[in-house]
Amino acid sequence: MIKSYKLRRFFANTFIYITLAVMGLIWIFPLVWLVLHSFRINAADPSIAPSVLVPRLFPAFNEYGIDNYVLLFTETNFPRWFLNTLFVATCSCIISTLSVLMVAYAFSRLRFKARKPFINVGMIMGMFPGFMTTIALYHILGIMQLEQSLVGLILCYSGGAGLGYLVAKGFFDTIPRALDEAATIDGANRNQIFWKIILPMSKPIVVYTVLTSFIGPWCDFILVNIIMRDNEANFTVARGLYSWTDQQKINDNYRFFLSGSVVVAIPITALFLYMQKYYVEGVTAGGVKG
């Protein structure tokens, strides 16, 4: 009986591991392909032209070089797009992080008559995808004369950030209220308690909020594609890379599209790996209580 059980468990685990390995290879293959072909020194990608045979799966050893990356930063608008993206993501991250943490703290610690209705309304509004408001946002920004501007993008990304309070509220709920009461007895007000006591103890949820607030603007395409349209000087990287996929430009700019995709992934990947520990702590602690 024991041997039969161990044998079944061995085959079951083997099947699971093989399945996971195959799924992992399927998931990581496009990334590996992207990185390898971004170093290919050919001027254009023949796989785009339908009249040319599809190239080898991976470039030959003598086809590798850094020419694509050098030309990306010297002969294209990519540096400008990269700085635009960094500026928008950083400003949106700061505003969004402060909004989320302050709203979450208010709902976690303060008790007022409209607290429950506000929480319910926030949860209901958070169920609707953000892209449903893009057309309305475009017209509102037009009235404010902020269409096709980086400031308009920042307002769109950070304006409704406070609705993402739920995870942070769950984290604040785990912090003992006795700390607030002791600080109040010592003469501290709500503002001092939040900035000097609660936030220093909430590093995991602060890091989690910073990462999620930064990743959104950094990777977003739908909103910037509608708001920016033809203002190439204010493109973010996502909109700029998309402009290179135009049928008339793809053969000349495909190598820049590949190398630009790799470059834009490096900062956010490095940031996530560096703060992964706190990110996981923030998610798990924030899910304890609602």
Cα 19 to Cα 27, 31, 230, 237, 265, distances in angstroms:
12, 19, 45, 35, 28
3-class state of residue 221 by DSSP: coil
Q: Are 213 and 101 in contact, with CB atoms under 8 Å apart?
A: no
Q: 3-state DSSP: the chain helix, strand, coil percent, rounded to 5?
A: 75, 0, 25
Report the CATH architecture of 71-286: Orthogonal Bundle (1.10)
| pLDDT at 45 > cutoff 70 | no
- Mind listing the pLDDT tens digit for each residue in 69-93? 988 998 888 999 999 999 999 999 9
Q: Are 213 and 96 in contact, with CB atoms under 8 Å apart?
A: yes
| pLDDT at 114 > cutoff 70 | yes
pLDDT, position 245: 83
| pLDDT at 121 > cutoff 70 | yes
Domain segments of the chain as ranges? 2-69, 71-286
The pTM of the whole model exceeds 0.95: no
pLDDT, position 271: 82
DSSP codes of every residue in 65-86: -SHHHHHHHHSSSHHHHHHHHH
The chain-wide mean pLDDT, for the chain, equals 82
What does the pLDDT average to over 7-36?
A: 88
Q: Rounded to 5 degrees, what are φ and ψ at 145? A: 60, 40
Measured torsion, CA atoms of residues 99, 101, 103, 109, in degrees rounded to the nearest 10 = -160
Compute the residue count for the chain.
290
- Mind listing the pLDDT tens digit for each residue in 22-39? 999 998 988 888 888 888
